C-alpha cells in the first residue's frame, strides 16, 4: 500500500499575492483554556490552514495566508470563539485571477 504525503496548503498559498497588515490581524481567537468543538473544526476546515493547535492545546490563528472566505466566521463567530473583520482597505489577499 502506498501512503501519500500529506498535502501542504502552504505550497498552494505561496502562489498567491498578499499584502500583510503586520501587527493588525483581522481575525482574533478569544482567549480560552479548552477549545470548543467549533474552534477545533477550524483546524481542518479553514482552506488556508490558518488555525493550529499550540503546545498548550489552545487554538491559535495566523491569518497571513487567509483567503478571506469567511468560513471560520460562519462556524465560530456566533458563539464568540472568534472575532472577524475584513483587513484594512488594500491589505490581505490580492487575487490576480479570482
Partner 1 sequence: MIEERFDAIVVGAGMAGNAAALTMAKRGMKVLQIERGEYPGSKNVQGAILYADMLEKLVPNFREDAPLERHLVEQRFWMMDERSHTGLHYRSDDFNEEKPNRYTIIRAQFDKWFSGQAQEAGAIVLCETTVKELVKDAYGKVIGVITDREGGEVHADVVVLAEGVNGLLGTKAELRDRPAPDNVALAVKEMHFLPRETIEARFNLKGDEGVVIEAAGTISRGMTGMGFVYANKESVSVGIGCLVADFQKTGETPYDLLERFKKHPSIAPLIEGSEVKEYAGHLIPEGGYKAIPQLYGDGWVVVGDAAQLNNALHREGSNLAMTSGRIAGEAIFQVKSRKDPMTKENLALYKKMLDDSFVIKDLKKYKDMPDLLHIQSQNFFLTYPQLINKALQNFVRVDGTPKVDKEKVTIKSFVSARSWTGLFGDAFRFARAWR
Min. distance of Cβ 35 from partner 1 in angstroms? 14
Name the nearest CA neighbour of 73 among 61, 64, 91. 61
Min. distance of Cβ 56 from partner 1 in angstroms? 22
The Cα 40–Cα 96 span in angstroms is 31
- Pair 16, 97: CB distance under 8 Å: no
Q: 19 vs 53, which CB is nearer to partner 1? A: 19
Min. distance of Cβ 31 from partner 1 in angstroms? 22
The Cα 79–Cα 36 span in angstroms is 9
Q: Is 96 in the site for partner 1 (CB under 8 A)?
A: yes
CA 90 vs CA 6, 19, 42, 45, 79: distances in Å: 33, 8, 26, 26, 29
Q: 20 vs 41, which CB is nearer to partner 1? A: 41
Which positions lie near partner 1, rule CB under 8 A?
7, 9, 12-13, 15-16, 19, 38, 41, 44-45, 47-49, 67-71, 73-75, 77-78, 84-90, 92-98
Amino acid at each position: 500500500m502506498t501512503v501519500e504525503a500529506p498535502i501542504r496548503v502552504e505550497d498552494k498559498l505561496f502562489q498567491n499575492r498578499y499584502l500583510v497588515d503586520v501587527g493588525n490581524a483581522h481575525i482574533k481567537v478569544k482567549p480560552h483554556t479548552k477549545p470548543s468543538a467549533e474552534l477545533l473544526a477550524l483546524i481542518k476546515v479553514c482552506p488556508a490552514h490558518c488555525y493550529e493547535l499550540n503546545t498548550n492545546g489552545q487554538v491559535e490563528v495566523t491569518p497571513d495566508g487567509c483567503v478571506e472566505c469567511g468560513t471560520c466566521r460562519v462556524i465560530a463567530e456566533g458563539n464568540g470563539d472568534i472575532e472577524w473583520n475584513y483587513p484594512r482597505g488594500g491589505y490581505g489577499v490580492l487575487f490576480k485571477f479570482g
